[in-house]
Every structure is written in C-alpha cells, then in structure tokens.
Amino acid sequence: MNQHSDFDEFFKHDFAPLVGFLCKAGFDLETARDAAADAMVQAFERWSTLEHPRAWVRKAAPRIARAQLHRTEEGVRRAVKGDWSQPVDRETERLISFLDETAWVADLVNQLPTRQRDVIVWALDGFSPTQIADHLGLPTVTVRSNLRHARRRLERLYRQQRPVQGLTEGGNDSD
C-alpha cells in the first residue's frame, strides 16, 4: 500500500470515532466534526513522520477544538461589543444542538476535573493506561489513579443525576 492509501484507510476507520472522542470530551458535534477534520488534515500533512496517528489526532483535535471555541467566543464578544449581533442567538442554537446530539454520558464526563476527563476519554476510546501515559506524557501510576477517581466520580454523578426515564424502565428501580 502506498502512503495515500494508508492514510485513506486510517481516515475512513478513525474519523467518526475521533468525532465521538471529542463529543465525549464535552465538545458539541459541530465543533467536534470541524476539529476532527482539521486534525486529520494536519495528520495527513505529517503522515510520513507519525508513529502513532490515532493517538496523535486525539492530542491535536482537542487543542484545535478549544482554539475554535476561543475564536468563536472572541468573535461573539466583538460582535456584541460592536453591536453586530444578529436576531438569532447563536450560543442558544449551539447549546440546543449540543443537548440534542450529545449523549447524556458526555455531560457526566464533562463534569469531571480536567485531568480525569482527559484520561477517561482516552480510556473510553480504547487506549490502555500505559498508552495514555505515553501519549499524554504522564506517569502510568498517575493515569491509573486519575482513571480510578474518574470512574468513582462518574458512578456517583450517575446515581445523583440519572435521567428520569432510567428510573421507570423495567418497572422497578430498587437496586
């Protein structure tokens, strides 16, 4: 296989999971798709030198998404300050889109402290603690500890905030 076919296969296999990874990390679907696409473009540009492309795009995409959101927020601030605002409230549209298209679990994950959220999202995407440690530049023991704390916190948050429909499914919710 040539270099372009290798990348094509990687893109076909990993684009949708990368978008899911970003949504689990708390980004709305539109931002996740844009950031994943930009990360894939950057990966293609570096393809011949990437040793771990799957991990590389998962490091690059959140940075890209945060930068996109910062630019968007800055643009909104400038628009409001300059009275360029439109009748449609774009932030409300984004919030509605996020709530409609992002799983309830993503909301729980987004409530975690940053480091716990970072490692649990990598773990949910199939990376082992050792791989997460290598790719994030952390000691493995730190990753394992953060995963343990994240899982406990997610369990607690789930019990406190589970959707009302979950309480009535199956007729009885007494555990």
Average pLDDT score over the chain = 78
List of residues 6+ apart from 65 with CB closer than 8 A: 22, 25, 27, 31, 32, 34, 35
Domain ranges of the chain: 1-102, 103-163
Q: Is the dihedral of CA 140, 141, 146, 147 positive or negative?
A: positive
What average pLDDT does range 35-50 have in this prediction? Answer: 94
Q: At what angle do helices 114-124 and 3-24 cross, to 10 degrees?
A: 130
User: Taking the CB of residue 10, how many other CB atoms lie within 10 A of it?
Assistant: 18
**pTM: predicted TM-score of the whole model, two decimal places:** 0.57
Looking at per-residue pLDDT, the higher value among 144 and 174 belongs to: 144
Place of tokens 């490091």: 59
Position 21 confidence tier, pLDDT thresholds 50, 70, 90: very high
- CATH code given to domain 103-163: 1.10.10.10
Q: What percentage of the chain reaches a pLDDT higher than 70?
A: 70
For the cut 90, the answer to whether the pLDDT of residue 40 exceeds it is: yes
